Amino acid sequence: MPLPTCPVTLDGRTGPVIVQDLDDDDLPGFYRAADWLLCTSRWEGFGLAIAEALACGTPALLPASLDVAPELLADGGGIVYQDSTHLAHILATHPRLTGRLPAEFDWDANAEATLTLYQDLTTE
C-alpha cells in the first residue's frame, strides 16, 4: 500500500503536506502535529474536518466566504482570511490561537440534550 502522504514543494521550498486516506484512529495525531488546518473550500455543509482539527487543538484558517466560519471559530479557534495576501500575512506572523471548538459542538452535551428532549416528549 502506498504511503498516505505526498510532500508538495513550491519554488524549491518545502510546502504543505497533503494527507489522504488515513485511518480514523490516526487523524487526531495528524491534527495535533499540524500548525494549522487550512481550508480553501468555497462551500462546506458542516465542516467536519475543521471541527475535528479544532477539537484536537489545531487552529483553523478559513476563507471569509465560508458560511461555517463564524460558528466554528466563535471561541477564537482560528482566523478568517480575506484573500491570498491576507492569508500570507497570517502565515508570516503566525499568531498564537487556542484551536478550541465551541462548547455547543461537544458530543456529550449534545447527546445529553437530545436524550432529555426525547424523554420530555415521551412523558407528556
Taking only the tens place, the pLDDT of each residue in 42-94 is 888 888 889 999 999 999 999 998 888 888 888 888 999 999 999 999 988 98
CB atoms under 10 Å from CB of 75, counted, come to 16
2 falls in which pLDDT band (50, 70, 90)?
very low
Query: Are residues 65 and 81 in contact, defined by beta-carbon separation less than 8 angstroms?
Result: no
Is the whole-model pTM more than 0.85? Answer: no
According to the model, what pLDDT value does residue 1 have?
44
Q: What percent of the chain has pLDDT over 70?
A: 83
**HSE of 117 in the Cβ direction (CA atoms, 13 Å)?**
6
In the predicted structure, residue 11 carries a pLDDT above the cut 70? no
Query: Are residues 26 and 14 in contact, defined by beta-carbon separation less than 8 angstroms?
Result: no
Contacts of 15 (CB under 8 A, 6+ apart): 7, 8, 9
In the predicted structure, residue 8 carries a pLDDT above the cut 50? no
